[in-house]
Amino acid sequence: MWHARDVRNLTSLEWWILFPLSLLIVGSIAAIAHGIIRRFLGAHTERSVIHAGPLMPTLGALFAFLSAFVIATEWTAQSTSEATVASIASASSQLAWASTAPGVDTIAIQASLMVDLEETATTGWERLQNGDETSLLDSDASRDLQRAVRASAYSPAVSPVASAELLSALDDVSEARRDLVNEAGGTLPTLLFGVLALSGLALTVNSVILVLQNPGRSSVVVLSIVVIVALDLALLLVLAAPFRGTLETSPAPLTAVRTEIASGFFTR
């Protein structure tokens, strides 16, 4: 029985491993099914072929619907994770500008923000990839940033408007970071992937039965279905991990903000 960790391990593989592996598995199942079904049916082959024909459109439509739905969902999740990283970068930029208000300890806040962005983009990213999401919310750099911002926000020397701007930007950073953690913790539901895989294998096996009487050129039908099912499943696994594998979400926006702070871009 598969568990979520099994799917997580698969999504960590690169596309050039997933695609051949998927082709090998689906192709092997088709070949094994051909031998078993041919021996099992025997004299009933012709009747089975007649029954298999009407099932092809139904099974094909089912597999197409499921794969389109799941791939669209995972693609949305991929896009959402990239948007969340951009939100953290934007909120960090706002916080850096808010730290330049009169009376605010600009140096302390920007220094803490630089450390927080650096840790998030390096060590924090590695933790997200390894499935350790919660540590990103409770890091030393994050706590130091909270202290630095709140120390200035509650200072009598800072105006209420500047204080509110500081706290609002800090809250935006924290909220976007929590969204990132939640997205990194999500994974492709094992049951959903299993249903899609079973529908694809059912389509493959049914095509094997359909060409039993004409194993020559008709075998191209089986081959094409094997390729489609294998590539479809592999593509789904590629899209299912925004922080692992081939389409890994980049922390580049965070690094860019840190570079801007270090260059003195955010100054009064």
- The pLDDT value given to residue 234: 93
pLDDT beyond 60 at 12: yes
Q: Band the pLDDT of 32: cuts 50, 70, 90.
A: very high
pLDDT beyond 70 at 2: no
- The pLDDT value given to residue 246: 81
pLDDT beyond 60 at 1: no
Structure-token pair, residue 2: 């598969």
Which of the pair, 259 or 14, is modelled with greater confidence? 259
- The pLDDT value given to residue 161: 96
How much is the average pLDDT of 49-74? Answer: 91
Read off the DSSP letter of residue 43.
G
b (16+ CB within 10 A) / e for 10-21: bbbbeeeebbeb
Give me the residue label for tokens 């450390």. Answer: 115
Judge contact between 145 and 113, C-beta under 8 A.
yes
In whole angstroms, what is the distance from residue 61 CA to residue 45 CA?
25
- The pLDDT value given to residue 215: 67
Q: Band the pLDDT of 245: cuts 50, 70, 90.
A: confident
- The pLDDT value given to residue 248: 87
Judge contact between 205 and 211, C-beta under 8 A.
no
Judge contact between 167 and 149, C-beta under 8 A.
yes
In whole angstroms, what is the distance from residue 17 CA to residue 33 CA?
24
Give 73-122 pLDDT, tens digit per residue. Answer: 889 988 999 999 999 999 999 999 999 999 999 999 999 999 999 999 99
The alpha carbons of the chain give a radius of gyration, in whole angstroms, of 27
Share of the chain above pLDDT 70, in %: 94
Share of the chain above pLDDT 90, in %: 63
Give 183-239 pLDDT, tens digit per residue. Answer: 887 777 888 889 999 999 999 999 998 888 776 667 788 999 999 999 999 999 888
For the chain, give the longest Cα–Cα distance. Answer: 93
In whole angstroms, what is the distance from residue 31 CA to residue 15 CA?
24
pLDDT beyond 60 at 3: no
User: Any idea where the domains of the chain sit in the sequence?
Assistant: 4-262
